[in-house]
């Protein structure tokens, strides 16, 4: 009887992909190398692969058995046993928290996920939508950029080589606020007056601004109403906005008004019996709300921002103050003198 000796070289492994998986096993890995055509065994540490398939002389696929820690994968052929390549069994991830846990429907904000066994995370999803980006900081912490979505709560899920973990309904998408108006729509340069903002999605307001200046204070009354104390500002239009975790609102207009100023009063005297009118010239009359003569309201007609005609009511003879009031404030008084009718 004769024998034929076949020279068989020792297999060599150069890479394994993926190089990690769950402790429960079941992951299919691809071994790359040389001399693998006659592979008779694949082992993860000392444990045989659940199964393996020789694809070619340079590739073998194998299903990882259960295990723990980091082990060496080897392939055995009639020529011997290969070098080992590291394969890590990862513990299943667990998520314990997310901060912040709410944000705008437009996404783009960064949140921090905390938990365990997060190393090697390959995916974070919000309601099934992948995060824009994911950064693994440590085995207990991940940051993720939130994708856009519709308003409401969603599940947050992280996937690692060790498995999947989900925090149910743990992140809340908030619609941005929308402003409809501000009442009153104007006020003095010094601020200090209170206005009411109306709109929708206002309940989570974190800031109210007049231009770039924060309101002196504000109170969220409901999801549709906020009251705010106006800060000081410059004369003219200012854009009022509300910011919530859902984002910044559209702007509505608020006008800072200078107080009225009276330069002349013609005539500046008349009969104590009243019934006459006087013309006031000055500035900032356009939004006049009240004219007082001797402390008593009287009728008036705004002719322009610089002219106003006021009724002079009857009263006791003598000098009285005349003032003009608008949302911008009250003017410095000028004097009107009532003259008693002559006795006959």
DSSP bridge partners of 271: 339
Please provide the average confidence, as pLDDT, over all residues in the chain: 95
- CATH classification of 178-257, choosing from 3.40.1160.10, 3.90.1330.10, 2.60.40.10, 3.40.50.300? 2.60.40.10
Q: How far is CA 59 from the centre of its chain?
A: 50
Would you place residue 5 in the very low, low, confident or very high pLDDT band (cuts 50, 70, 90)? very low
Average pLDDT of the residues in 61-87: 96
Residue spans of the domains in the chain: they are 12-90, 94-174, 178-257, 261-339
Q: Which residue has the tokens 């104590």?
A: 272
> Can you tell me the mean pLDDT for 87-101?
94
- Whether 148 and 171 have beta carbons less than 8 Å apart is answered as no
Residue 2 pLDDT class (50, 70, 90 cuts) = low
Q: Is residue 343's pLDDT more than 80?
A: no
β-pairing, 269-271 vs 334-339, is parallel
Q: What is the DSSP string of 229-278?
A: EPPP--SEEEEEEEEETTEEPP-EEEEEEPPPEEEEEES-EEETT--EEE
1 pLDDT band, cuts 50/70/90, is low
Considering the domain 261-339 in this protein, what is its CATH number? Answer: 2.60.40.10
* 6 pLDDT more than 50: no
Segment 70-76 mean pLDDT: 97
Q: What is the mean pLDDT of residues 204-219?
A: 97
Contact criterion met (CB below 8 Å) for 54 and 47: no
Domain 12-90 and domain 94-174 have a common topology: yes
Query: Is the model's pLDDT at 7 over the cut of 60?
Result: no
- Residues 127, 199 contacting (CB under 8 angstroms): no
- CA-CA distance, 111 to 294, in Å (whole number)? 64
Provide the pairing of β-strand 236-244 with 133-138: unpaired
Instruction: Identify the bridge partners of residue 32 per DSSP, sorted by sequence position.
Output: 15, 59
Between vectors from CA 181 to CA 175 and to CA 186, what angle results, nearest 5°? 140
DSSP assignments along 183-228, one per residue: ESSEEETT---EEEEEEES-TTEEEEEETTEEPSEEEEEETTEEEE
Structure tokens at 67: 């295990």
From the CB of residue 241, how many other CB atoms can be counted at a distance below 10 Å? 18
**Architecture category of domain 12-90 in CATH:** Sandwich (2.60)
- What are the tokens at 294? 């001797």
Name the nearest CA neighbour of 42 among 52, 33, 27, 54: 52
Are 139 and 209 in contact by the 8 Å Cβ rule? The answer is no
Which among 141, 233, 244, 163 has a CA at the least distance from the CA of 193?
233
pLDDT at residue number 334: 97
Superfamily of domain 94-174: Immunoglobulins (2.60.40.10)
Write out pLDDT tens, residues 279-322: 999 999 999 999 999 999 999 999 999 999 999 999 999 999 99
Confidence of residue 161 (pLDDT cuts 50, 70, 90): confident
What pTM does this model have? 0.71
Q: Predicted confidence band at 72 (pLDDT cuts at 50, 70, 90)?
A: very high
């Amino acid at each position: 009887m004769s024998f034929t000796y076949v020279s068989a070289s020792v297999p060599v492994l150069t890479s394994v992909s993926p190089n990690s998986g769950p402790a429960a096993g079941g992951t299919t890995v691809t071994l790359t190398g040389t001399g693998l055509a006659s592979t008779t065994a694949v082992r993860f540490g000392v444990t045989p692969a659940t199964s393996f398939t020789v694809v070619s002389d340079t590739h073998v696929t194998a299903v990882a058995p259960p295990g723990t820690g980091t082990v060496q994968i080897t392939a055995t052929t009639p020529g011997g046993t290969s070098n080992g390549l590291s394969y890590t069994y990862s513990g299943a991830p667990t998520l314990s928290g997310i901060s912040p846990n709410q944000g705008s429907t437009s996404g783009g904000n960064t949140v921090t996920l905390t938990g365990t066994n997060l190393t090697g995370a390959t995916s974070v999803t919000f309601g099934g939508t992948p995060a824009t980006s994911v950064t693994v900081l440590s085995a207990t912490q991940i940051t993720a950029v939130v994708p856009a979505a519709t308003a409401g709560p969603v599940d947050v899920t992280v996937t690692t080589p060790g498995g999947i973990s989900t925090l149910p309904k743990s992140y809340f998408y908030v619609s941005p606020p929308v402003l409809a108006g501000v009442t009153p729509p104007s006020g003095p340069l010094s601020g200090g007056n209170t206005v009411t903002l109306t709109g929708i999605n206002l309940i989570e307001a974190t800031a109210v601004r007049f231009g770039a200046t924060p309101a002196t204070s504000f109170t969220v009354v409901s999801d549709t109403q906020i009251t705010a104390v106006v800060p000081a500002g410059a004369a003219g239009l200012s854009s009022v906005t509300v910011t919530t975790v859902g984002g910044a609102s559209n702007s509505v207009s608020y006008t800072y008004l200078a107080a009225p100023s009276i330069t002349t009063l013609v005539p500046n005297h008349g009969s104590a019996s009243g019934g006459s009118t006087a013309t006031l010239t000055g500035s900032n009359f356009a939004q006049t709300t009240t004219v007082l003569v001797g402390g008593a309201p009287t009728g008036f007609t705004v002719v322009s921002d610089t002219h106003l005609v006021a009724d002079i009511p009857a009263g006791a003879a003598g000098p009285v103050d005349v003032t003009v009031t608008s949302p911008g404030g009250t003017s410095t008084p000028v004097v009107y003198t009532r003259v008693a009718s002559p006795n006959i």
